[in-house]
Chain A
Amino acid sequence: MAATDGLPEQNREDIYRHMWNFFHRLGSPVYFYRWAGKAIPWCWGVTALLLLSGLYLGLVVAPTDYQQGDSYRIIFIHVPSAWMSMFIYVVIAVCGFITLVWRMKMADVMARASAPIGAMFTFTALVTGSLWGKPMWGTWWIWDARLTSELVLLFLYLGYMALLSAIEDRKMAARAGAILALVGVINIPIIHYSVDWWNTLHQGSTVTKFSKPSIDISMLIPLLLMALAFQLYYFSAVMMRARSTLLIQERRAHWVRELPEVNAP
């Protein structure tokens, strides 16, 4: 990490303080804009590597399933998408909390930039689930607790995005959005535990539970690679979106007007 460069001999406490300072500085739009600009190409590179190796291991190397044959392979898209759909919502809610309490500009920018990516992952999880449900269960859709709560998550994302764009004043929009995000975050544990609390057609948890994952290691590795790839994709995409949001929002600020890419003819 760039922040720990230059102090290799420091003790642990100093490194922690340094990392905290680094995060603190990321809270400043100028610093974030510069840092993200440098980090984005690396992030994309790692995303591509993880995606390629995950897809290769998952679609070519991994064995077929004893029950579902080759159809199970949609798991490598479906499950990481569903995980990301929940992860990104939690990010938005945490950003909302920071916006409400500490009024940090970057928290609002990050939440705003995250929403469409989260909505895309939710949509992907729903569609791939539906495509998987038809051959395995015998139906495209069923109103069980897991499917319904995930659909509610999609509506939360869409509502959040609509609310933000409906309010013209940026600060007002940030606060209203933050409250909606916080109200909606209660849905996340409901999605996760829906398969334990109620009986559903959807299967129970394979990986995210306290006992050992009930998936063969040869299938687990590509699944985790794909999950990491999606995570890195999110980081890359959200940084790009946040940077462009910053440019628009801060277009009158000195630091934006002095940027070489803004002044380019």
Chain B
Amino acid sequence: MRAKRKRRLILSGLLLVGIGTAVTLTLLALNKNINLFYTPTQVEAGEAPVNQSIRVGGLVEKGSVSRDKKGLTVRFKVTDTARTVAIEYTGILPDLFREGQGIVAQGRLNERGVFIADTVLAKHDENYMPPEVADALQTAKAMRVTK
């Protein structure tokens, strides 16, 4: 009886290890396809295909947003703090869209390297705090910069 139980223990353990290995290898092989978007660095390096529906993600660069006088077209740049990609989008932006905000845009990269988006999604980070705390943090940061 003991020996039987030991054998089952080993078999169950092996099952777990085997599946773990198989899944790890699969995920490693699929790594690129599981990422939701290309970063500006990847786009710059030519890793993103041109004229194919893809997603690009990053932070909206400060001071880069320009809205069309007539119509809903918006031009802005996203950055991963190393490289930037210019994005053009016609439509309604999500509420959270603002400079410095993380976004994910779906669309196509044209030959000039401009990303023509047909959807823009806002990404919010993992920080939650009351507005007063956010303000206090901002002021503290500004103080440090001016010093």
Contact = CB atoms under 8 A, between A and B. Distances in A.
Interface of A: 63-68, 72, 75, 97, 100-102, 135-139, 142-145, 179, 182-183, 185-186, 190, 197-201, 203-206, 214-216, 218-219
B12 A138 contact: no
The 9 A-B residue pairs with the shortest CB-CB distance, nearest first, are: A66-B134, A63-B130, A138-B94, A215-B128, A216-B129, A206-B126, A144-B36, A66-B131, A214-B127
B96 A136 contact: yes
B71 interface: no
A203 B130 contact: no
B9 A101 contact: yes
A65 B120 CA distance: 22
Given A66-B134, A183-B19, A203 B36 contact: no
A98 to B, nearest CB: 10
Interface size class of B (residues with CB under 8 A): 35 or more
Identify whether the interface residues of A are mostly helix, strand, loop, or mixed. loop
Contacts of A198: 31, 34-36
A200 to B, nearest CB: 5
Contacts of A215: 126-129
A245 to B, nearest CB: 23
B43 to A, nearest CB: 13
A190 B27 contact: yes
A199 B23 contact: no
Contacts of A145: 34-36
Contacts of A135: 95
A190 B24 CA distance: 10
B123 interface: yes
Given A198-B36, A199-B36, A206 B128 contact: yes
A247 to B, nearest CB: 29
Given A101-B5, A199-B37, A203-B123, A218 B15 contact: no
Given A66-B134, A101-B12, A216-B133, A201 B125 contact: no
| Highest count of chain B CB atoms <10 Å: which of A66, A185, A206 | A66
B126 to A, nearest CB: 4
Given A100-B8, A142-B36, A199-B36, A72 B128 contact: yes
